[in-house]
Chain A
């Protein structure tokens, strides 16, 4: 038996969330005294594949095919399921990324496996049960979920597991899956990347702006701060509803849920729906001119004052710190 982890690449490269799932799956494999097999689909170089050895992959199944360079949900689900069978894996781990969210349930359905989506920690494993903590109620609660099925699928939230180094020299083998035309029903026509921007769901620092910024023309101070910090930018719902910012920046209960190391909220009041999507951030900073703004109640650090005066000063101080 073994643990199988699917490592997602973006244009042939692995990002931090890929290493997170490997390290997480390795920790589970160690607990169960099993080996860890990683599977990669797409066009990934051997050097990149070998880098998975830093976090304990014992074996890597490489599916290198031009046809599979972009994400094709049904084909990927078939491949991973077949790999799981070959490896006799009873635990399958993947990232709860946008693609992972579509993939995990299809794999679970194929294998009649219980699925823990949005897992935020390691499973508690003992002879009788396998329990895992996941987010629920849009960040307002956690649910300790027991997977009672033989095969278990876990989709791990980005930024919720600290990498643990465990050097191995993985054996890399080519994996040929048996695919059919119906696995290729979807055709990716185009991928549009906002290359100059850090992706929000897996960003370590997020700078977020609300209605307090008065208009889209004032977003320069948010972007300058984000650039100085290497952060992603986000916004509250009314801001994207008004078209000041694109919808994909909207965080909260009805937007993206984020859990960065640092979340900086500027001119955001802290409505319950907004907090739901950001409250699992490790450190929260609030800048708001209203001392009664509810956001201060859940913040670690705060400044009461005018964002237009304060934010540029913070940006300068950060630049000075980075230079020193």
Chain B
């Protein structure tokens, strides 16, 4: 599904990702944890194709071809979805119309007919119920004035509507109450399939109780310093990052003592 080799990326001339290797196979769920500022969101933005980040070295293969060749919207239509850590607001523009435009862009790409406002409303209704979303959010402007939790749920709604092949969730669980967390988990689990993969960025192992990952990686100072099974998340939650000791210290100067 996705192969990342020796990925280096910089923003404003500053190198943030310093050689990442990662292999995600169809059907797998990978979790990435790591301290603030270690480059987790940067990785997600690079995968989505944000032009502010420059890939300086290495390569990303998606479904066997070079991801760098594709524009942001092409990646999206090819099934890459990013649930943003900080969803963007579009004041004045209706959320329902936005979601419909997104769904139709995908349908068009697949050669399917576009949905009109009524068909879309029917299509969206089930997903809204699944995520226990307030239907009023559809008539409001895109994310404008949404609470933190509402924004995250709206990201989750978009994911379930677009049915991506590869979904990246950047701290979608942050700021959610426990019920909302279960809902997000439900959203992910409802999509889990042998041909779909997930990359879940999180600070807490809580979400991982509901969405059980196949692998957990620790990203520190732009490198993956440790990988393991789902137990690694528990261990991190328990002990923090300090115990990673030597490996961690190498990546983060002074990190060994933390």
Asked if A pairs with B, the answer is: no
Residues of B within 8 A of A (CB): none
Residues of A within 8 A of B (CB): none
